[in-house]
Amino acid sequence: MARRGERKVRTRAAAPASPLAPGQIGIRSLLVPERGREKTVMLDPGDYRCSVLVAQLADEWLKLARGTALRSGGQSYAHGVRNLARFVDKHLPTLGLDPQEARLNGGAVDLVAVLYAWEAAMREEHGAESGNPYDRAAAVLSLIANRAAWDGAVPESLRLRAQARPAFRKPPEEPLDEFSNAERIALRDASRAAIRAMEERLAWGRELLEAGVDPRQDSWRKLENLVWAARFGLLNSAALTEKLPAHPKWWPQPLHDVMLEPSADGRSRRPGIRQLGRGVGRLLFPDDMDLHPFRILMLLGMVDTTPEELNDLKLGDLEVTDGGLRVVQSKFRAERIRADLHPATDAGEYVAGAGAWDVPGLFRRLLAATELSREAFADVEPWLMLEVSREAKDGSLRAGICSFKRRDRRFTHWIAQQRDAAGRPLEISEPHDARRLRKTAKVVRATVLGGTVSDLAGDDHHVEVYRNHYAHGTTAHILAGRAVNRAQEWVFGRTVQGPVLVAEEAEKRLEDAEVAADLGLEASQAKAMLAGELDMGLVNCRDPYDSPHSARGKVCHVAPAMCMLCRNAVVFTSQLPRLLMLADHIERMRAALDPPRWQAFWGRQAAALNKIFAECEELIPAARREIDELGLRLDLPLGHRTEFDR
């Protein structure tokens, strides 16, 4: 036993040194569900020199994404952090500062100035019409604000900056316009032609499959054997490289015929293993380019379906009924699930194998085209839009949901490959966005219905949503213009006709029922006019309580100013001197008023007077003499002179 003072000093094992620098915890990752599978979104602070700043922002991103259960995992926040980190790594060294000193809880780096410089750089890079600078800045500022809410070490200046808006406003979005009717028809016809061609190709592929055998027991140079290998998962780059001649020029001609197909720009692709594998696979399984025409026709036919809803459909969402097809759709943004029934256009066509172009027929043809894909890849989820594509790594075939977003295989590339009946490229206005198909279908319904905005909005939109996002289209504007024109024509059709001129002979016999009826007068009206009871100071009036310028039942308040523009006015030849004096007054006003004002107040009345004078031209000289001999003067109400003469 060791004596007192002779104890050995115990050497303890040293704790393993952390491979991470202070402020770093490691890679931040988040699993995001995306159409039946999980996608990993990562942020690695070690990829940037400003690792402390990235780690702090990444922590806030994870808290926000998990705490609010963001459907997309808040990927926009991660994009903003990455963009800021790249800028900080380049910008701070130009100022003589170390990016490692950048952090949210103080330090030598003024992050407020850095943020302003970052936003200005994004604005210069993307332009004033891009919304990326605003979106990324708003995402980063919200993360900083979350940090400032619990971390008292965040400087006050940075806290205030995070509470403010981004430096530049978000540019107003230009709403997408619908395709024109000619473009809609061109897309429809091209899609139908493409589906027919695909069905012919698949039918040929089925025949080759029946004739093919295992190439390991026969030959890899026969096309039917390669089709058999594709069906049973034996087709890949390694097998083709090993079993086929080294150079494609030594391959059999049937193999060249399969792989030589034009690219999106019309040029032929270079023959090789990659093109051969893809061409053989397309003999059995539709790929994403084959699914584009189905999506086009479905969006044109299913008015209440968005591209996202269509892509998310599974076989379990479809139910065949006696009258058509019932489709259950989920609108995630609205958090609503609805079922739509799409009836067959012809009940006689809705049988197995019939090729109708209505919505049930399109679904039937799509399911028939992808039937072998579901058999060969039984472990894949039953997506409606199921594509089979060639793996880039080993050249094998794989099945999965079609995203319509692969490089060189988008909607615009499909359009570039299509030709019309005359062999000319399709002339489709840009942008080639599938959302325009939905708007086109909405506009077609609006054209057919021709109802009010509430009618055209349908069951899947509020009136305000339709007005802001659909009613701005060119066709909607044309329809609105036509509606305005119809309303104007209706108003102008009911435009007040000029007064009725009663000849001197007819005036003497006005009490006769037949004469009064010919003039459109009742016997009581004719008697009252002869007695002067309906004299309005300028001409007679059929009914002062039925004026087109006043509410019905109320006495006319614009007489005699508007009598020459009233359908109730009746002119006796004895009243011509008054009309001549009114015409002289109007001519004096022509010299006193500006031309637009004179035309607005007096122009139509002058035209009505000239029409009256033309009908009784022989009586005008006598009426002039009467004015001079009797010294007549025109008496107009004071309000009339105040309103119209100045």
Q: CA-CA distance, 293 to 299, in Å (whole number)?
A: 10
Judge whether residue 518 has pLDDT over 90.
Answer: no
Q: In the chain, what is the straight-line distance between the N-terminal and C-terminal CA atoms, in Å? A: 128
In whole numbers, what is the pLDDT of the chain averaged over residues? 81
Rounded to an integer, the average pLDDT of 214-239 is 92
Closest CA to 374 of 365, 384, 364: 384
pLDDT value of position 503: 80
More confident: 215 or 564: 215
Residues 6+ apart with CB under 8 A from 339: 326, 327, 328, 329
Q: CA-CA distance, 32 to 39, in Å (whole number)?
A: 5
Judge whether residue 24 has pLDDT over 50.
Answer: no
More confident: 335 or 28: 28
Q: CA-CA distance, 624 to 615, in Å (whole number)?
A: 16
> 355 vs 92, 299, 351, CA distance in Å?
65, 18, 9
pLDDT above 70 covers what percent of the chain?
A: 81
pLDDT value of position 550: 75
Which of 34-48, 286-300, 322-336, 599-613 has the least mean pLDDT? 322-336
Rounded to an integer, the average pLDDT of 287-307 is 90
Structure tokens that stand for 159 in this block: 């806290």
Residues 6+ apart with CB under 8 A from 341: 321, 323, 324, 325, 326, 327
Rounded to an integer, the average pLDDT of 342-357 is 54
pLDDT value of position 69: 75
pLDDT value of position 435: 87
pLDDT value of position 133: 92
Q: CA-CA distance, 401 to 384, in Å (whole number)?
A: 8
Q: Where are the beta strands (DSSP E) in 351-430?
A: 386-390, 397-401
Query: Per residue in 28-69, pLDDT tens?
Result: 888 777 665 677 888 899 899 999 999 999 999 999 888 887
* Max CA separation in the chain (angstroms): 157
Judge whether residue 348 has pLDDT over 60.
Answer: no
Which ranges of 284-334 does DSSP label H, i.e. alpha helix? 288-301, 307-311
Query: Per residue in 254-278, pLDDT tens?
Result: 898 887 554 544 454 567 888 899 9
Greatest mean pLDDT among 222-236, 397-411, 526-540 lies in: 222-236
Judge whether residue 395 has pLDDT over 90.
Answer: no
- Element of type H or E holding 528: helix 523-530
Q: Is 230 exposed, middle or buried (0-12, 13-18, 19+ CB in 10 A)?
A: buried
Judge whether residue 452 has pLDDT over 60.
Answer: no
pLDDT value of position 509: 81
More confident: 447 or 584: 584
More confident: 212 or 501: 212
Query: Per residue in 70-112, pLDDT tens?
Result: 767 788 899 999 999 999 999 999 999 999 999 998 888 999 9
Judge whether residue 313 has pLDDT over 60.
Answer: yes
Buried b (16+ CB within 10 A) or exposed e, 36-72: eeeeebebbbeebbbbbbbbbbbbbbbebbeeeebee
Structure tokens that stand for 137 in this block: 């800045």
Domain boundaries, the chain: 28-163, 181-282, 288-419, 450-493, 500-509+536-644
Judge whether residue 145 has pLDDT over 90.
Answer: yes
More confident: 21 or 331: 331
pLDDT value of position 89: 94
pLDDT value of position 4: 45
pLDDT value of position 202: 95
**Are residues 536 and 560 in contact, defined by beta-carbon separation less than 8 angstroms?**
yes
